[in-house]
Chains A and B, each alone.
Chain A
Amino acid sequence: MAQDTNLLRHLLEQDGAGIVQRWIESQLASAGFRGDRISRAELAEQSRRFLSLVREASAAGTTDIQSPVWANTRQMLEELSTSRAHQGFSPSDTASFVFSLKDTLFDAIKQQGGRDPEAVTTGLTDVGGLLDRLGLYTTEAFQRSREQVIVRQQQELMELSTPVVTLWEGVLALPVIGTLDSARTQVVMESLLQKIVETGAAIAIIDITGVPTVDTLTAQHLLKTVAAARLMGADCIISGIRPQIAQTIVHLGVDLGTVITKATLADAFAIALRRLGLSVTKAQTQVKRRRATDEDEQPVEREDA
């Protein structure tokens, strides 16, 4: 037999205010009530809002909580899950919020049903089923928000582990540590291009000493990064190519095109400087000619802070 929300809607229209009041009271009176975590006023407000949304949604007749008519109710439960998690409640605490409504509604159904046991049973099944699904939805929502936190932390970790360093004016270095999968590559490209815009660097050295293996995919990711930097007017040099990696690249037939590769970051840096028309020379010792006055020969005292 198909479930519908007609009885529920009827009950809420008839005595919505009474039901909400009794529900709030039963929650406050229950052993699980956390007066330290949530105020009576807040509990009352949440209960009223939930029941009013349920009343609206039940007007459509369907008990399928995934349908668009239940969207507002789902959203409220999602927000409730998140805020209760912040307040220190466990996921089952939030689900209990929904389940606790069952007792109050069951009482109302039994009163309504009077001496019609079949009507009472149907009513209990319909309403019970609906509230079960809504209660479970809150635990799912809680789970998802935890997962989102984890994903966000992973993202931050990826960003932290791919710093872009300014080696010299106009020269950036990007030491890649760990595997270069497609998610990581996105982060790497974003950081590198952002830094190119900020510093106006024209040369970027991508050091892959910390990348354990280079397969065809990794090579593709590297080439993508190089291509993206090129589009922003910066040339890339890939350094940190170990002998094994060189072998893999040749065996896989990866075409590095015109990208310059160097075994060490130092070699790559030397090339970068040369490109910029710079060179490193030894500092010359300067011999000061002493003047004949005494002043110059007195030691200057340093003021220590």
Chain B
Amino acid sequence: MTVLLSDHRTIQSSEDVVSVRQSVRQRAVEIGFNLIDQTKIVTAASELARNTVQHGGGGHVTIERVEEGGRRGLRLTFEDHGRGIPDVELAMRDGFSTGGGLGLGLSGARRLSNEFYIHSTPGEGTRVTIVRWR
């Protein structure tokens, strides 16, 4: 996979979540995603960005334009150094929430993306990567 462009944004507040949405929307339009694919990745980004603020104590996101085997896509990596997720499988279940939310953040982001990767170490932090291909 080659990275053609890379953007970095801090996510500390709920206003930052909004600017992440807007940056992702911009990149998605640039790559040429259709409207539905744009909406899906922006929504997934919103969920993950919120998680970063609420559960990760703040963090950052790397927005990359990638290319692999002739197809172009957008890869987002959300990283925080928060308390981490002790049971990832449980966290990925629909409806499971430790923050009083709907529990659809992680599982929803996975459903809305073509690729989804999560790595978390309790006490150290969490990293979630999603990719959508054109």
Chains A and B in contact, CB within 8 Å? yes
Chain A nearest CB from B87 CB (Å) reads 26
A141 to B71, CA, bound (A): 10
Residue-by-residue, is B53-69 near A (CB-CB < 8 Å gives 1, otherwise 0)?
00000000000000101
Contact among B4, B69, B70 for A68, CB-based, below 8 A: B4
Number of interface residues of A (CB under 8 A): 10
Residues in B with CB closer than 8 Å to A144 are: 69-70
Q: Which residues of A contact B4 (CB under 8 A)?
A: 68, 71
Q: Is the CB of A140 within 8 A of B70?
A: yes
**Among B2, B36, B67, B69, contact of A190 (Cβ-Cβ < 8 Å):** B36
A92 to B37, CA, bound (A): 35
How far in angstroms is the closest Cβ of chain A from B36? 7
| Distance between B14 CB and nearest chain A CB, rounded to angstroms | 25
Q: B69 touching A71 by the CB < 8 A rule?
A: no
Specify which chain B residues have a CB less than 8 angstroms from the CB of A68 in the assembled complex. Answer: 2-4
* Neighbouring A residues of B69 by C-beta, 8 Å: 144
> Is the pair B70, A66 in contact by a Cβ cutoff of 8 Å?
no
Interface residue? A78 (CB, 8 A): yes
Q: Is the CB of A71 within 8 A of B2?
A: yes
A71–B65 CA distance with the chains assembled, in angstroms: 13
Could you tell me if A66 and B2 are in contact, using CB atoms closer than 8 angstroms?
yes
List, in ascending order, chain A residues with CB within 8 A of B2's CB.
66-68, 71
Chain A residue, CB-CB nearest to B1: A66
Q: Mark A139-161, 1 if CB is under 8 A from B, else 0.
A: 01100100000000000000000
Identify which of B3, B67, B70 contacts A141 (C-beta below 8 A).
B70
CA distance A140 to B3 in the complex (A): 20
CA distance A240 to B56 in the complex (A): 49
Q: How many angstroms between the C-alpha atoms of A144 and B69 in the bound complex?
A: 9
With a cutoff of 8 Å between Cβ atoms, the chain B residues found around residue A186 in the complex are 36
Closest to B67 in A: A71
Q: Which residues of B contact A190 (CB under 8 A)?
A: 36
A140-B71 Cα distance, complex, nearest whole Å: 12
Most B-side CB within 10 Å, residue of A66, A67, A141? A66
Least CB distance, B22 to chain A, in whole angstroms: 24
Chain B contacts of A78 at CB under 8 A?
A: 70
**Closest CB in chain B relative to A142 CB, distance in Å:** 11
Q: Which residue on chain B has the smallest CB distance to residue A66?
A: B2
A68 CA to B67 CA in the complex, in Å?
10
Interface hits, A178-192 → B, CB 8 Å:
186, 190
Query: Which residues on the A side are within 8 Å of B3 (C-beta)?
Result: 68
Q: Which residues from 25 to 76 on chain B have a C-beta closer than 8 Å to any C-beta of chain A? A: 36, 67, 69-70
List 15 A-B residue pairs with CB atoms under 8 Å apart, sorted by A's residue number. A66-B2, A67-B2, A68-B2, A68-B3, A68-B4, A71-B2, A71-B4, A71-B67, A78-B70, A140-B70, A141-B70, A144-B69, A144-B70, A186-B36, A190-B36
Closest 5 CB pairs of A and B: A144-B70, A68-B2, A141-B70, A66-B2, A190-B36
Since A68-B3, A144-B69, A190-B36 are in contact, a sample of 11 more A-B pairs with Cβ atoms closer than 8 Å, ordered by chain A residue number, is A66-B2, A68-B2, A68-B4, A71-B2, A71-B4, A71-B67, A78-B70, A140-B70, A141-B70, A144-B70, A186-B36
